[in-house]
Amino acid sequence: MANPSPPVRRVSARVILVDEDDRVLLFFNRDSPVSGAGYYFTVGGGVDEGESLAEAAARELFEETGLRVAPEALGPVVCRREGPWTTNAGLRLHAEESYFFLRTARFDPDLDGLDAGERNEILRAEWLSPADLDATDATVFPVGLAGLLKRLLAGERPEDPIDLPWIDLTED
């Protein structure tokens, strides 16, 4: 039996986007990483060659929601997480995710900028309160977002990014 290829490194920049009512914008998907299991995840995606984390986060924010912000408006990275992940197509990845925190006025996300893969993955966008995050039966990525969000809403800004746990739901 052949050895599987090593995981591909995937660096991504993500945004914890919060409105004036302390609700975070999350996308919902029902079919992966565990078939039939629903989960929420933040705006964001892969960093292109030559991009800084903030540039990638600002680009992804515009592509996925229609909200345009300058990269410097994102401030410092507030948390990170990393770990293994296998896509639905079987590609093995080692994800390295950095998260920014940004306040904005509530708006209706424009999902027209999603690519074909994202359109298949994202069923809807929702603004959720910390209580909504605590109450949902769906998995929320990053794991620990509700607690982190409460700290950020209380005004805490970590000197160094907080490391959040990685949970790979695709593992047996």
For the stretch 6-48, pLDDT in tens is: 899 999 999 999 999 999 999 998 665 555 568 899 999 999 9
The model scores a pTM over 0.85: yes
User: Which fold is adopted by the domain 8-159?
Assistant: Nucleoside Triphosphate Pyrophosphohydrolase (3.90.79)
If one compares 33 and 50, the residue with the highest pLDDT of the two is: 50
Domain ranges of the chain: 8-159
Cα distances (angstroms) measured from residue 43 to each of 1, 32, 55, 64, 65: 39, 16, 14, 7, 8
Q: What is the end-to-end Cα distance of the chain in Å, rounded?
A: 20
pLDDT reading at 1 higher than 60: no
Single-letter amino acid code for the residue at 151 = R
Q: Are the C-beta atoms of residues 28 and 122 closer than 8 Å to each other?
A: yes
Q: What is the mean pLDDT of residues 112-126?
A: 87
Compute the distance between CA of residue 14 and CA of residue 57 in angstroms, rounded to an integer: 6
